[in-house]
Chains A and B, each alone.
Chain A
Amino acid sequence: AQSVSQHNHHVILSEAASLELGCNYSYGGTVNLFWYVQYPGQHLQLLLKYFSGDPLVKGIKGFEAEFIKSKFSFNLRKPSVQWSDTAEYFCAVKAAGNKLTFGGGTRVLVKP
C-alpha cells in the first residue's frame, strides 16, 4: 500500500519569502501525484498534478512542483508568497483506481 509523508506540519513565513513544501511517497509502481490546497473554511482545491512527461509541473497561483522519481518526491514551490497563500497544503498520490492517499498536510501561515 502506498503512503505519503509531508515533512513539515507548520510553516510560518513572511510575504515575498519563498516557499518549499516537501512530499515523499512510497509506492513502487506508476503513480499520479497531486497537490491540493484548503483555504480557511473552504474545500480542497487542486493546485497542480503530475501524470507523466515533464517532471516540472506548473499549477495555479504561481505554484510549481518537481517530480523526482529516484527520490520518490514531489515537492511544492512558490518563489514569492502572498498573505492569501495562508492555507493548508496536501500532497496526494494515486495509484490504480481513484483512491487518493494523502499526506498529513502542512499548515502555512504567511505574515503580512
Chain B
Amino acid sequence: KAGVTQTPRYLIKTRGQQVTLSCSPISGHRSVSWYQQTPGQGLQFLFEYFSETQRNKGNFPGRFSGRQFSNSRSEMNVSTLELGDSALYLCASSLSQGIRGSGNTIYFGEGSWLTVV
C-alpha cells in the first residue's frame, strides 16, 4: 500500500511568488492535513480537510490556503511568498476523524522542502 505522496519534494521560489504543493493520501484515507516544520517554530498545524471541506485551521495568515478534491487528493497554496515561509511542508492522512479507533492514526508523507530566496 503506497504511503502519503507529496510533490514536488524540493523547490526554490522567489519572494512574492506563489507556490502550490500537492498531496496524495493513502488509498482510502479521507482526511488530509498539512503542517509546517521549521527549526524555530517546530511542527505547526496549517489546516485539515475531510470530504472536501476544511474542518480545522491553524494560526496562519490568509496567504496560506488549501483544498481537497473528490478523490481526497489535496493541494495547498502559499501566495506572496516571504522568506519566513521557507520550511518543510508535511502532508498527513488518516482514515477518519474523531478520537476513537485505530482509523484515526495519522500518517505523514516525506514533505516538500520549500526555499524562498
Using a CB–CB cutoff of 8 Å, the interface residues on chain A facing chain B are: 30-32, 34, 36, 42-46, 49, 51-52, 90, 92, 94-105
Q: Flag if A96 contacts B98 (CB, 8 Å).
A: yes
Interface size class on chain B is: 20 to 34
Cβ distance B92 to chain A, nearest Cβ, rounded Å: 8
Using a CB–CB cutoff of 8 Å, the interface residues on chain B facing chain A are: 31, 33, 35, 42-45, 48, 50, 55-56, 58, 90, 92, 94, 97-102, 104-111
Q: Which residues of A contact B97 (CB under 8 A)?
A: 96-98
- Given A43-B110, A46-B105, A51 contacting B100 (CB threshold 8 A): yes
Task: Please name the residue on chain B nearest to A6 by beta carbon.
Answer: B42
Cβ distance B28 to chain A, nearest Cβ, rounded Å: 15
| Sample of 15 further A-B pairs with CB below 8 A, known A46-B106, A92-B43, A96-B99 | A44-B90, A46-B107, A51-B99, A51-B101, A94-B99, A94-B106, A96-B97, A96-B98, A98-B92, A98-B94, A99-B45, A99-B56, A100-B33, A100-B35, A102-B44
Q: Which of A36, A49, A51, A99 contacts B108 (CB 8 A)?
A: A36
Task: Please name the residue on chain B nearest to A105 by beta carbon.
Answer: B42
CA distance A103 to B58 in the complex (A): 16
